[in-house]
Structure 1
């Protein structure tokens, strides 16, 4: 799967997740409106509802957000797999990134999921462009109205400004001879448009209408409205964003009605409602970028008039606010915990036509590779400049025995380990002995050379859980999770082997840069001895390689090890003269005889000589 495909699929999942979150937010606000009579006048809740939906969308887009979910992934065929016909008629499977770089390779099929996700991304971009154009046209229309009107410089001659409260507004007042509703627009340079026919209204009505628009200005409703429009435009495809945005305008109008009519007699309330109806007949669709006196829909006009005549006086209690905010936070957390996620699998061909996977990123003809997922990451140790970034390098997987580099630093820094041959611990019955070479007394040099698991376990057990966790966090190693398998309390012994601790190739390289540059808060002896026991070899062109392999099985959704595949790692650094390059190579392969880490190292070093000279 290419990085672009991963981004497109994550965008599709984020779009679905925010629609589900919008449904939850809308259900919560509808419940509050029914049980809290004055809830509809609280503009903050409608804007917070929009923010909750947008936050859900953005967080799902973040890398590794799927770790927050608690539902199992949906098992789907590999969407980036392509079947290629290579010379001789052999059928091969490869990732999309590999296919594009292989000569004589002709794609003969591609998953509908890839096309569907890409089609949705294109649709989103077109819809976003259309929404922006609509807003631009609305703004242009309002500017045109203002340009066609006359500036009201002497406000004393307009009866709507005869009250003390409505004098000297911080906005331009323009009168237009157009049957519009009084409206306020302009985020940075507010402008109040007044229709000429407003002068025919009763004086009290004119004063209350003008005061309504200027109350919007004092309450900074233009800013609130602009944020709501921006969020709605960003998620234009989400119907609940439109509903929340409409109710934000509704709440703003109710808030202004409440402030204008506070303390007024019933006769003035009726006159105000009559003015609202008269204005509504003149303009049924006010501009979406303006705050208009009749800026409500037909379905809400009767309810607004009812609240004008008989306002709800009971304030919204603090407990209700907290409950509403808690509900929004729960919807946000729930949408992440139950977000959709896909698990890709490679469909196998019939036994007679079992394909051989081509090397996905490094052009080495190794028939034993059979790589399904792979990454190669190289960076300059001094500057941090990324030199090579190929494959799924942001995918976190188990570090396996490459974690022994970190354990070595911990052991020497804490004093548990002394030098390359001390301590030498004897093998005992009950120790892990999957590999026959492990059934012997072992010192630090032998431990690193043979990846002796029980030796690393002796180091971590002597560190203790608290100190072990502190070291991992101090190293900023992967996801920092050394809890181990759920319910088994085996974090000190196995967290780095197909368990809770996970790290991506990009993070491996970042960690190794800190090691090479001695940027971790460790003793000089910890660095010196770790470098001394690291396996090293010199290439033909003079580059000296320090590296560590690792092999482990993937974990299936049901918690069992995948007996059909293996992760292979090779990480370390290459030095020549004054230059050092850190690297991480990871591949998920079909299980074969031997260890995947060794095969990955072989294939990597075979091409590394030429690659290093060109960097």
Structure 2
């Protein structure tokens, strides 16, 4: 039991990956069904095309590509179905609306006690599937290794005959003539072939050497690797079997080309006789009799009448177009996952502050948005560096009725500590106004902050007071962590006092797992084309850094979702502390 809990704890840090992996697994099975349907139609109406090995290997590649594309978070932009809203399965009581997103106590409240919800069940199921996939992959690889050892043992026990351009070994075993070994091809010939007549032996040998000349070992190996990677997908196995079938037909066609009917008849008799003598075929080898009763009829039909495959390019183009259509459809019709809410845009990115190594990078992290109240970190650095801010409680600025007062907490005299705690807009505006346009722009440029555009609303000349509030200034989560890393490593052109006081008023808190979190939330509405705020959606930010011992991790989490009772910045912070911060030790 303890081992199981330990395994699940390890996989818990990969919850977003596990959910996306489960979605990609289901998507590739659906893609496999589509590919199998296209290739089945091709086999029925275009048998000459279906007999080409490239069709079946391309089919496998299409399924694998569908899996990989669905796995990529950027592919969510291409999907037409709405996201799976996990939270819609339950209806928790909404938290009261308290005003601004930061208008809550600055202390980090303990994460709520773990409860079993549909989201929890889904996370467990996804993590279980990821573990099961790893175990299944390991088992499949062991099976391949066992088969390779069995073939090697047969080769060692046999006697070299030296009658072909590849190593030829006669073995006293009821096997089919087979070619194996990707890097060192070897041909195994059973001793019972000596009972066949000379023409039959010659054609059997020619069949195996044709596999060698056509590089069928490489084609078969590629099919086996793809099937192994997606071992859970039944259509990958079917496509790989059909690839083997097409390879056998191709070699039969070349061996029989120009031969008289008597030799074709002898060849068919040898095939039937060999099928009776062989044991179960070995999938990692290319064997003369490697057929099933279901495919034997096709080979006998070809032997009787070896027609030529169509050479026209249009039928092949049509087949490729069909596979491409399956790939595009499987990608477009896969829903994305919304792990917390009906999220329209999301990103979670974490980076090691010392090395710059990305530890997690999920979602649309290159999408820019207004920084909202996260910009107060920038204002704090500028204010303390310029001397307009002194310490945690100086200056204390008096409230005036003309100031913005969206929240009751803003209608009071404010110092730097309460400003950060309540994200007081008018206090930040007083600091930036004292800086002036030129110095304000100079700081933003030297910080390399976002798009560096602090011009404000078009034609209103309000950049000093509005540029970071749903206006001209925009920044992506990737740019946020780059900026935060400069703060942690003290690479910005500001004073030591500015660094120290900014860190102090952010009121860092230590979690139960020993990590100390310094962060800032932000909430803002997108701006519509007519300049009005979109009251149906909200951006939510939570950015900062986490420290434990000598290690520091910078982070940024950003979402765009539908407006709810609580502010998006608060929800984003709570989700980060619950789902990510508790797992920092696993990164």
Same fold, TM exceeding 0.5? yes
Q: Where on the TM-score scale, by shorter chain, does this alignment land: which range?
A: 0.5 to 0.7
Show the counterpart of 2:251: 256
* CA distance 1:537–1:138, shift in 2 (3 Å): closer
Deviation at 1:251, TM superposition (A): 0.7
Deviation at 1:210, TM superposition (A): 0.3
Answering whether residue 20 of structure 2 is matched by residue 47 of structure 1, we say: no
Match among 258, 266, 270 for residue 271 of structure 1: 266
* CA distance 1:147–1:80, shift in 2 (3 Å): farther
Unaligned runs of 5+ in 1: 84-97, 156-167, 348-372, 407-432, 462-492, 520-526, 574-580, 605-615
1:74 & 1:9 partners in 2: Cα distance?
11
Cα offsets for 1:369-408 (capped at 9, x unmatched): xxxx99685654x85357xx7xx863447644339999xx
Answering whether residue 322 of structure 2 is matched by residue 322 of structure 1, we say: no
Deviation at 1:177, TM superposition (A): 2.2
Answering whether residue 469 of structure 2 is matched by residue 508 of structure 1, we say: no
Match among 35, 40, 61 for residue 25 of structure 1: 35
Answering whether residue 343 of structure 2 is matched by residue 384 of structure 1, we say: no
Cα offsets for 1:263-306 (capped at 9, x unmatched): 11111111111111111111252111111101111101011110
Show the counterpart of 1:75: 85
Query: Equivalent residue of 1:225, what SS?
Result: helix
* CA distance 1:178–1:385, shift in 2 (3 Å): closer
Instruction: Identify the structure with bigger relative contact order (alpha carbons < 8 Å, sequence gap 6+).
Output: 2
Match among 213, 237, 240 for residue 218 of structure 1: 213
Query: Equivalent residue of 1:294, what SS?
Result: coil
Deviates more, 1:587-596 or 1:177-186: 587-596
Normalising by the residue count of structure 2, what TM-score does the alignment of the two structures yield? 0.65
Deviation at 1:179, TM superposition (A): 2.4
Answering whether residue 275 of structure 2 is matched by residue 302 of structure 1, we say: no
Show the counterpart of 2:307: 312
* CA distance 1:46–1:538, shift in 2 (3 Å): same
Aligned residues: CA RMSD: 5.3
Show the counterpart of 2:331: 336
Paired residue total: 468
* CA distance 1:36–1:434, shift in 2 (3 Å): farther
Match among 141, 144, 152 for residue 135 of structure 1: 144
Listed as ranges, the matches of 1:146-185 within 5 Å are 146-153=155-162, 155=163, 168-169=164-165, 171-185=166-180
1:570–1:585 CA contact under 8 A, matched in 2: yes
Unaligned runs of 5+ in 2: 1-10, 94-107, 376-403, 407-424, 445-449, 462-468, 509-518, 528-532, 547-551, 578-587
Deviation at 1:583, TM superposition (A): 5.0
1:257–1:308 CA contact under 8 A, matched in 2: yes
Answering whether residue 135 of structure 2 is matched by residue 126 of structure 1, we say: yes
Cα offsets for 1:130-183 (capped at 9, x unmatched): 222222222222222222221114x3xxxxxxxxxxxx41x2111122222211
1:402–1:549 CA contact under 8 A, matched in 2: no
Query: Equivalent residue of 2:168, what SS?
Result: strand
Query: Equivalent residue of 2:458, what SS?
Result: helix
Deviation at 1:115, TM superposition (A): 2.4
2:567 & 2:286 partners in 1: Cα distance?
72
Deviation at 1:65, TM superposition (A): 2.5
* CA distance 1:294–1:81, shift in 2 (3 Å): farther
